[in-house]
Amino acid sequence: MTDRVPLVNFILDTVEIPKVEAEQIASAFHPIEFSTNDYILKENQVSDDYIYLTNGLMRTFLLDLKGNEITIDFFTDNNVVFEVTSFFNRVRSESNIQALTACSGFRLSYTELNTLFHDRPAFRDFGRAILVKEFIASKKRNYGMINRTAKERYQHLLNHRPQILQYSPLKYIASYLGVTDSTLSRLRKNK
């Protein structure tokens, strides 16, 4: 049996519930692994994966009007990975989710997640807490793209999410920060 301790701890860190209940929730998740460059979700697919990432690095990206990949977000260890609009509204995704390293974690399908929502009030609280956390992170990122310089955005990434800088190709980091590759090179030299 794959070790669910990190998932149980993540649930307990997210919502205040008895450990036995966190263990029961965690037991509903299925182990899953991805290889480097595997797609978890491709544009125009309907998302059916709600993943707790135990280890590895993933990214979400869109294609702009010229076909360039624009990285929207990164997911690192101890995070939930899913495309919220496609997953909950059962519509085709506008984005892609890709493993940048070998990744492992635990998965729930849409149907399994809804069963947990209906059967376990503690899981509803957990899910709500995750959505609020992600909404706040998205707002902060949007604000940072407006009211922080490129240097400040890079420094924030360096200070708060160093795993991304360690394992992601620089072109993905540059698009995430909203800068060109050459600007990112200058920022890295002047840190």
Express each pLDDT in 130-160 by its tens digit: 999 989 988 998 898 899 999 999 999 999 9
Give the model's pLDDT for residue 2. Answer: 64
Q: Is residue 12 predicted with pLDDT exceeding 80?
A: yes
pLDDT band at 25 (very low <50, low <70, confident <90, very high): very high
Alpha carbons 19 and 17: distance in angstroms, whole number: 6
* More confident call, 39 vs 145: 39
pLDDT tens per residue across span 101-132: 999 999 999 999 999 999 999 999 999 999 99
Q: pLDDT at residue 191 above 70?
A: no
- pTM comes to 0.90
d(CA 94, CA 92): 7
Look at 144 and 34; give whichever has higher pLDDT.
34
Confidence (pLDDT) at 57: 97
Q: Is the pLDDT of residue 163 over 70?
A: yes
Confirm or reject CATH 2.60.120.10 for domain 5-115, answering yes or no. yes
Beta bridge partners of 51: 81, 107
Which pLDDT does position 1 carry in this prediction? 41
Between CA 113 and CA 125 the distance in angstroms is 13
Share of the chain above pLDDT 90, in %: 87
User: Which residues are CB-neighbours of 49 under 8 A, at least 6 positions away?
Assistant: 40, 41, 81, 82, 87, 107, 108, 109
Rounded mean pLDDT of 80-100?
96
**Whole-number average pLDDT of the chain:** 93
Give the tokens for residue 29: 């998740």
Structure tokens at 38: 């595997």
User: What integer pLDDT is reported at residue 48 of this predicted model?
Assistant: 96
CB crowding 105-134: b at 16 or more within 10 Å, else e: bbbbebeebeebeeebebbeebbeebeeee
What's the chain's Rg over C-alpha atoms? 17
Phi, psi torsion values for 47, nearest 5 degrees: -70, 130
Tokens of 36: 């480097």
Residue 46 pLDDT > 60: yes
What is the distance of C-alpha 153 from the center of its chain? 19
C-alpha–C-alpha distance, residues 72 and 180, integer Å = 15
The domain spans of the chain are 5-115
